[in-house]
Amino acid sequence: MAPLRLLLLLAALLLPGAALACGPYRVAFYEYAILYHRDTDGQYRGIDKDVLDELARRTGCRFDTVLESRARTWALMTSGGLDITLSAVVNRERERIVELVPYLQSRRAVVLRNPSVPSTAEAFMRDEQRRLLKVRAARDGPQMEALLARLEARGRVVEAADQPSAVRAFKAGRADAMVLGIGSLARLRQQDPEFQAYDAVFWAPTERVVGALAMSRERVSEADRARLREAIAAMRRDGGLDAILRRHVGDKLAAALRLPDGDSGH
């Protein structure tokens, strides 16, 4: 840690009343299966909710949470209407306005609605009648982004406001394929018998997508960003983050979502 950042963190932790001075910050969740979802009892649960609860416990920071779509979240982050969001895909464009602190990784699957849908990216591209569905303003790795851009240029991408809407649209036949993270796909296959019948393929098999805590550089102070940054690092070191992953997805999938030790996500 750079000396200046270390001094700011120590000051934030040691000054009288510092624990009460962090926030309140306005934080946006978005509905995305294992990350944040409404359960059968009507309560919201998920990895991101538990991560934010643990950050509050470890740092004393206060968070006021709202539910937003991905598109509205990033419009508000850009305009100053939000301070923090979670599971933000790490990319250079976003780093201009937010500090990104990675805490998990995933891979993007392409779910095929029936066996007649071409399974490879190039075969899907050649079949001009095929449409692919994605969540509006969701970001992916460079390889998937390039493939999606080619489809968008041909008018062959269907967008939904959020993941629940995307799932309903896909099941209703509005598209032939849909982009889903592996954790979300696993959860849908557990909960929805219809999804057990859908095949899934990987158009960018070696590409991972890294999710991060995104903090506004303008609206979240450097001292508070340092405090939250160190809390994420501590959760990765001491097993706190791993426990959250295992609680929601089990040991096998948690291993796939876990960032390797020392991995900065970039």
Task: Taking residues 205-224, report their average pLDDT.
Answer: 95
Sheet containing 157-160: order of strands: 157-160, 132-135, 177-181, 108-112, 199-201
Task: Taking residues 195-222, report their average pLDDT.
Answer: 94
Query: 3-105+210-257: which CATH topology?
Result: D-Maltodextrin-Binding Protein; domain 2 (3.40.190)
When pLDDT is cut at 50, 70 and 90, the band that residue 32 belongs to is confident
Is the CATH code 3.30.420.40 the one for domain 108-201? no
When pLDDT is cut at 50, 70 and 90, the band that residue 17 belongs to is very low
Is beta strand 177-181 parallel, antiparallel or unpaired with respect to 63-67? unpaired
Cα gap 255→105, rounded to integer Å: 10
pLDDT-above-90 percentage for the chain: 69
* pLDDT for residue 166 is more than 80: yes
**Domain segments of the chain as ranges:** 3-105+210-257, 108-201
Cα gap 97→79, rounded to integer Å: 10
* pLDDT for residue 217 is more than 60: yes
Residue 204 has a pLDDT of: 94
Cα gap 5→97, rounded to integer Å: 19
Mention every residue, 6+ apart, whose C-beta is less than 8 A from residue 180: 108, 109, 110, 111, 188, 200
When pLDDT is cut at 50, 70 and 90, the band that residue 262 belongs to is confident
* SS3 assignment, position 6: helix
Give the type of residue at 170: F
Which region holds residue 87: left if phi is over 0, alpha if psi is between -120 and 50, else beta? left
Q: Say whether 108-201 and 3-105+210-257 share the same fold.
A: yes
* pLDDT for residue 157 is more than 90: yes
